[in-house]
Amino acid sequence: MIWVISRFIVEAYKKVSDSGKDKIVEKTGGNSSIMTIPDSGCVMENGASCLPCTPEEEKKIVTDLRNESERNLKEGNLYFVISSSWFRKWERYVGIDGDENLIGNQSSDSRHINGASSVVAERPGPIDNSDIVENGSDSDGKGNDIQLRRMLIEGQDYVLVPQGVWEKLHGWYKGGPELPRKMILQGVYHKKFDVEVYPLCLKLVDSRDESQSTIWLSRKASLTELFQKVCALKGIEQDKVRIWDYFNKRKYAQLSVSNKTLEESNLQMDQDILLELVDGHLSSKIGMDSTGNDLALVSLEPSRSPLTIAGGPTLSNGHSGYRSNLYPGSSLGSGLTDMDDGFDACNSARKGEKGGLAGLQNLGNTCFMNSALQCLVHTPPLVEYFLKDCRAEINTDNPLGMHGELALAFGDLLRKLWSSGRTAIAPRVFKGKLARFAPQFSGYNQHDSQELLAFLLDGLHEDLNRVKQKPYIEMKDSDGRPDEEVAAECWKNHKARNDSVIVDVCQGQYKSTLVCPVCSKISITFDPFMYLSLPLPSTITRTMTVTVFYGDGSRLPMPFTVSVLKNGFCKDLLLALGTACGLKSDESLMLAEVYENKIYRYLEMPLEPLASIKDDEHIVAFRFQKKEIGKTRLVIFHRWQEKAELFGTPLVTYLVADQSSGADIEAAVSKVLSPFKKTSSAKAHVGKENGILLDGLDEECSCSDAQSVENAELEGTSCTDLSIPLRLTDDRVMNFNAFKKDTLFESGKIIGKLLRVVLDWTDKEQELYDSSYLKDIPEVYKAGLAAKKTRQEAISLSSCLDAFLIEEPLGPDDMWYCPRCKEHRQAIKKLDLWMLPEIIVFHLKRFTYGRYLKNKIDTFVNFPIHDLDLSKYVMSKDGQSYLYELYAISNHYGGLGGGHYTAYAKLIDENRWYHFDDSHVSAVNESDIKTSAAYLLFYKRVRSESKVEAGEASHSHSIS
């Protein structure tokens, strides 16, 4: 009976379809037991496991559930964290390769070898998350109590799966621990869904006994929820509790029961919060300020200060950026400010301490932000702007801005840094505002200082835009008008919509020229820029090896290795190859791609992208004199007669006459093969240098040539005689027909004017010719044969600029709509600098990203500190000075996973450089600031002597 039931179950299992459920009823002794096999075929109604799914079924179920989850994104959806090491085993088991990898980051061990479906990986064991949780091997715990290890990277250390996927995987494999995380919606204007992998960790300090407790809450949780959790933890009634934002062991702001979120309250990861009782049971150590006096309890909504954090009076609409209590002792009048250490800015000025030497505290992986901020707050025009009253320019109504809050927060931070002496500042409020408006910078993951700089400059511009109502302006094409006229028109239109201190100081203009590769339509526009992202020359070129054959049979084939643009075209390869092989003006090259001993395609179109040529392919070039290029192309294939299989690289030549006979074709083949002949006489006195026969055949291969005569005597044939039999073939080189010398071939009757013949080689012919030149063709690029890697030589900033301004094709994902063709085209783009700003920022593109490869380039870039002359790069002759001086650097040390950012900045008034490493600030010699870590370079225009004198007369501030 047991065997019958088992067989019945197996047969029923095989009948399960994806569209519905099959119920199996087995009656025994008058009782019926119902087993339901759902779509997955793996769970019964009673919850017990049945027969496992096949790998293909598991893959389909998970893929469908994942796609369904992506279609129904909403706040509050549950996701589960799974260790990547286990998930990759499951992916291998179900046959997910690199192209459909669910993690989004692929390691080499998770790819199938040669895509062989016959290789089946073992079924993984129970889900094991022990390598990503703090308390290791506890597989029975719940995710609410178990915390992830810090600094994990999604895709590399863990993967997020929707709740439905987790339930299936856990049902199939069990294990754990389960680590649920909620999806939250972040941002004000640029909202995005994000799974909160790391909830906010707060350390509750009890003022009664100084004991500490850890509280985990979502950053989207309200202050009401925080109070409820604290009171439940301590067993205290809510109306008897006060909770303080307790940052750096000081009371920062009192928190109140409200719907305000922890994120909006600027609470940071791992910071302290202080618990006090209303009845006065306060700790004497915690509740005292630096003078020993009790800290006064400030009302939550005090009267506003007459100054905003940007330095000007409160706006008429009451908007001041922050709605919290004033910090005791702060003279700047901000509500919730970055001055958390109780330092009085006015006292700093009275003490005579120098400004601009304050560090920024690291709030948790915020070195990228600190580095970019130090460069900006040491930008002289911005310092001068934000230290004065700029209230009239705060734009609270700009829909593209942040209601002025970002500019206010930045202005407040800049004032603190320039007035706090050497006291380090914690940029908590600024980071809170940044995360609110740019969710990509929320949390405490490492980010890119250039990405922050780009967002911050754009955000400051929109918050300070003097244009309240942007007019609609229709852009016009250049239509052959003078560049000066078009550039002035474009800049005028840009200023009509964008007018701020950022535009005044940081924006320049470049000329963009697009050429349609089909109709040659030229479009010229003049666009603004805020910074220049310069490629490092080593990142934009690739090495390619191409073997050059001589169509007239005058020389042996020769491989040449050239360097070309990665995003270039075949015309770039032809140009580089022509230079390398000494191509003459009356000669031309034809490129062909050889695949499986056949010419797969001809790369004659100049705009064929080089990206389509793979490293392991064979590319050959046939060299012809232009007078030899006729109407019919002759392609010669090679076949071993005994094995009836193709080998070697096909040869190409031309038939010049309109009408050719079989004898003419045989003579042409013999001429092309002549350099490969092996003769004792040739070995005796014919040398070979760079693939050229020094004393052998001339370019015309005439029978009167001494060497040809000698060869003919040795072989008993004329130079046009060919001992290897020929066959006619088709384009697939599959069918072979007889070849006769007296047959006439008219070019008009040859399909595509292409004639294909096959040489039937035998062992006898192998003794007469050296076919190794046909067999041993090098690949385009062979890493294993490359020379030993040596340290890259230093490159100059000017070479990076040259690489930035070089002509290049647009990428396939960035094609241009040609107004003449009425189609999107992969146009040729050329950039030129037209107008440069007072402050110019160079971004060195050290990071390269691919599907399976991420890399950082540590090449040393030699950049000038003084007298950077950019006049040769500027097309406009507007009389401006284009001499620049370096004043700040953002540095990146290390690799992609564990890097660190610092900054160098120059105090203009004392002409001295300083190193800013988060909170630590130290003087540094100018000779030491040039390193291979330089990532962002900040330059300011050097003014003429007359302008400097005028500036000193009108500005009293020494750093202006």
Q: Which residues are catalytic?
A: 367, 900
Cβ burial 127-166 (10 Å sphere, 16+ → b, else e): bbbbebbeeeeebebebeebbbeeebebeebbbbbbebbb
Spell out the residues 6+ positions from residue 359 whose beta carbon is closer than 8 angstroms to its own.
370, 422, 424, 425, 916, 917, 918, 919, 920, 921
- First-to-last alpha carbon distance for the chain, in angstroms, is 96
* Count of beta carbons in the 10 Å neighbourhood of residue 116: 8
Q: What CA–CA distance (Å, rounded) separates 494 from 489? A: 9
DSSP structure string for 435-501: HHH-GGG-TT----HHHHHHHHHHHHHHHT-S-SSPPP------TT--HHHHHHHHHHHHHHH--SH
Q: What CA–CA distance (Å, rounded) separates 769 from 831? A: 53
SS3 call for 564: strand
What radius of gyration, in Å, describes the C-alpha atoms of the chain? 37
Q: What CA–CA distance (Å, rounded) separates 543 from 536? A: 15
Cβ-contact 622, 578 below 8 angstroms: no
Q: What CA–CA distance (Å, rounded) separates 675 from 689? A: 13
By CB atoms closer than 10 A (0-12, 13-18, 19+), residue 919 is: middle
Cβ-contact 464, 398 below 8 angstroms: no
Q: What's the one-letter identity of residue 128? A: D
Instruction: Give, for 272, the enclosing helix (H) or strand (E).
Output: strand 271-277
Cβ burial 354-392 (10 Å sphere, 16+ → b, else e): ebbbbbbbbbbbbbbbbbbbbbbbbbbbbbebbbeebbe
Residue where the block lists tokens 């239109």? 493
Q: What CA–CA distance (Å, rounded) separates 957 from 387? A: 10
- E-strand ranges in 803-933 read 808-809, 816-818, 823-825, 828-835, 839-845, 847-849, 854-856, 861-862, 868-869, 883-893, 900-907, 912-917, 920-924
Residue where the block lists tokens 């197996």? 10
Pairing of strands 744-746, 127-128: unpaired
Point out which residues pair with 901 in neighbouring strands. 892
Spell out the residues 6+ positions from residue 519 whose beta carbon is closer than 8 angstroms to its own.
818, 820, 821
Pairing of strands 241-247, 271-277: antiparallel
SS3 call for 99: helix
Cβ-contact 391, 321 below 8 angstroms: no
Q: What CA–CA distance (Å, rounded) separates 863 from 936? A: 11
Spell out the residues 6+ positions from residue 631 whose beta carbon is closer than 8 angstroms to its own.
654, 655, 656, 658, 747, 753
Q: What CA–CA distance (Å, rounded) separates 825 from 681? A: 57
Spell out the residues 6+ positions from residue 398 whose beta carbon is closer than 8 angstroms to its own.
462, 463, 465, 468
Cβ-contact 641, 761 below 8 angstroms: yes
Cβ-contact 38, 21 below 8 angstroms: yes
Any idea what DSSP says for residue 93?
Answer: H
Q: What CA–CA distance (Å, rounded) separates 271 from 202? A: 5
Q: What's the one-letter identity of residue 614? A: K
